[in-house]
Structure 1
Amino acid sequence: MSTDVETAAAPGAPNASGAPAGPLPVLPAGCGGDLRLGSLTFHPADLVIMAIVNRTPDSFFDRGATYGEREALAAVDRAVAEGARIVDIGGVKAGPGEHVDAAEELRRVGGFVALVRARHPDIVISVDTWRAEVGRIVAAEGADLLNDAWGGVDPQLAEVAAEHGLGLVCTHSGHQPPRTRPHRVTYDDVVADIVATTTGLAERARALGVRPEAIIVDPGHDFGKNSRHSLEATRRLPELVATGWPVLVALSNKDFIGEVLDSPVTERLEGTLAATAVSAWLGARIFRAHQVAPTRKILETVAAIRGTRDLAVSRRALA
């Protein structure tokens, strides 16, 4: 399979003014080519699911259903069986709540990473943390990727990724401290800020020695943004894709979906899948998801429509 991406988005995707735009330029090989994490290589046409496993008692979606070790391991097993290639393990709720210091975060994720590695030697293990001290411990236990959802608030985290040969997710969080909710946040141009911030973090990581083929950018839906900002970030995703860095989207059951549909967190699956399909069509490559099985079906369908995946079976009009 070629490691070059032919176009960053489908022809006719809207530009910043809302007018139809032509195909975006050919993306370079390298950063826009293969993504190498752990023992796995993901090609530009691959649509990769990152399953969410929260070792937290107060997670917004599952309300602590995978807080216990046995339940969390079962969730990892299920996610892998349903098609996830990356498992993202988190020990701190993203939103406000009970204070969780580094020692408590390590109690939740430290050791657990080693258990997952022994159980699934080939899966890519990601740890959702902004703390370098946590990153250093989980690196020694077999983590492959550090998912920094708070935009480099601890600048040493990128140094840990470089030192241990790990990948790094560079996220736009609206320049907010960890675990804060935005209040009347404004941008002159939210997508321009997303592109400048994430590419700046990515270039810094590369300069520190993080492997370029292991650096990912994330527009950070809902982080430091209101729902209109998150919708615009989705609509204009080709602008981030065009930077050449592989794009991760973390859309699953988020508040912007809830505000589109006026739906509680338990009734956002259809909206999440719609946003996932659009993001895949516009060039995102990694999809952080709570519900792996329906996400896989959506992504397989998108891949078949764009011609990068064949039919699973072929029967119609052949008899």
Structure 2
Amino acid sequence: MTLWTMIWPNHTLEFGRRTLVMGILNVTPDSFSDGGRHFEFEKAIAGGLRMVEEGADIIDIGGESTRPFAPELDAETETARVVPVIEALAKRVPVPISIDTYKAGVAREALDAGASIINDISALRFDPEMAPLAASRGVPVVLMHMQGTPRNMQENPHYDDLFGEIGLFLQEAVERALRAGIREDLIILDPGIGFGKTFTHNLHLIQQFSRFASLGKPILAGPSNKAFIGHILKKKAHERDTGTMAAVAACVLNGAAAVRVHNVRLAVETVAIVDAIKRGSIDQNAES
């Protein structure tokens, strides 16, 4: 068992002892998965509080949809969506809040409002100010693989060597972060399920998720409600909980240290069972 402990101001996360659950809180009117369910301020706050009650270890807040072919949002609108929610939740929840953005200006305002993790789908590539910002604030970063941009990533994804190319991309992302001064122990990697991949690519990634262990960092898996699940089950995005939990279970069995999900309650239950199976024992602190 590989363990990673991240310690930074006001927070500590332990990866490896059990699978951590990151709850997705989309403050958008056009999310592919929840259809704007948390777009209104009060609903967003209630949703974040509920995730913590259900066992989320991290709340990931985003103000711009990154679904395939989604239009780019200006930083001012994105900031206006996320900052009030972060400010309100940061005062009421003990878990770290992650800001899901690739724009340094948005991340800066979010960190000032109480966020303490940067989840950058571009792996610090789209905004040259993002890496120095993360380094200066001393916060963890999630670096994700994506082929192209959300606008074009699904036009014709192609790889000559799926794992070799993704692995090299993520290793270069780590090196980019280290050059900027980001602490090595504050880096989380995400292979980017559904971001510039065909359905078959996604299945292969999950099937052989353990291959990313060689990168030496905690690996985050994000299969939640993705299109390949809908394709297999013939279900709309909001009907994919069962398929998502099956994918989550497979990712965890194959080495994911954390999972990013819309349905926190089901994910917490799913990973508890899978973690017990991996250990081959019941948590001694659990009730009989």
Give the TM bin, normalised by the shorter chain: over 0.9
The residue aligned with 1:110 is 83
The residue aligned with 1:220 is 192
Distance 1:297 1:179 in 2: 34
Distance 1:131 1:97 in 2: 16
Distance 2:185 2:18 in 1: 15
Greater Rg, structure 1 or structure 2?
Answer: 1
Question: 2:5 touches 2:12 (CA, 8 Å); kept in 1?
Answer: no
The residue aligned with 1:72 is 44
Distance 2:196 2:204 in 1: 13
Alignment counterpart, residue 238 of structure 2, candidates 252, 263, 266: 266
User: What is the letter of the counterpart of residue 103 of structure 2?
Assistant: R
Question: 2:144 touches 2:192 (CA, 8 Å); kept in 1?
Answer: yes
Question: 1:158 touches 1:208 (CA, 8 Å); kept in 2?
Answer: yes
Task: Give the 3 Å change call, closer, same or farther, for CA 259–36 of structure 1 in structure 2.
Answer: farther
Q: CA deviation at 1:305?
A: 1.1
Task: Give the 3 Å change call, closer, same or farther, for CA 99–43 of structure 1 in structure 2.
Answer: closer
Gaps of 5+ in 2: none
Alignment counterpart, residue 49 of structure 1, candidates 4, 7, 21: 21
Question: 1:251 touches 1:272 (CA, 8 Å); kept in 2?
Answer: yes
The residue aligned with 1:11 is none
What SS does the corresponding residue of 1:89 show, helix, strand or coil?
strand
Q: CA deviation at 1:99?
A: 4.4
Distance 1:111 1:267 in 2: 30
Tell me which stretches of 4 or more aligned residues in structure 1 moved more than 6 Å: none
Deviation string, structure 1 residues 39-66 (Cα, Å, up to 9, x no partner): 1231422211100101101111111110
Q: CA deviation at 1:177?
A: 2.3
What SS does the corresponding residue of 1:63 show, helix, strand or coil?
coil
Name the stretch that deviates more: 150-159 or 267-276.
150-159
The residue aligned with 2:287 is 313
* Structure with greater helix share of residues: 2
Deviation string, structure 1 residues 168-219 (Cα, Å, up to 9, x no partner): 1110011x12443411221001111111111211121122111222110001
Distance 1:35 1:283 in 2: 18
Q: CA deviation at 1:234?
A: 1.0
Distance 1:154 1:309 in 2: 45
The residue aligned with 1:25 is none
Task: Give the 3 Å change call, closer, same or farther, for CA 231–165 of structure 1 in structure 2.
Answer: same
Distance 2:128 2:149 in 1: 13
Gaps of 5+ in 1: 6-31, 315-319
Question: 1:35 touches 1:246 (CA, 8 Å); kept in 2?
Answer: no
Equivalent positions of 1:208-247 (< 5 A) are 208-247=180-219
Question: 1:50 touches 1:286 (CA, 8 Å); kept in 2?
Answer: yes
Deviation string, structure 1 residues 120-175 (Cα, Å, up to 9, x no partner): 1x21100100001111111212211111113322232122110111111110011x
Question: 1:250 touches 1:287 (CA, 8 Å); kept in 2?
Answer: yes
Deviation string, structure 1 residues 238-286 (Cα, Å, up to 9, x no partner): 1112211110011100011112223221221111111111111111111
Distance 1:238 1:155 in 2: 31
User: Within the alignment, does 1:197 sit opposite 2:163 as a pair?
Assistant: no
- Normalized against structure 1, the TM-score is what? 0.84
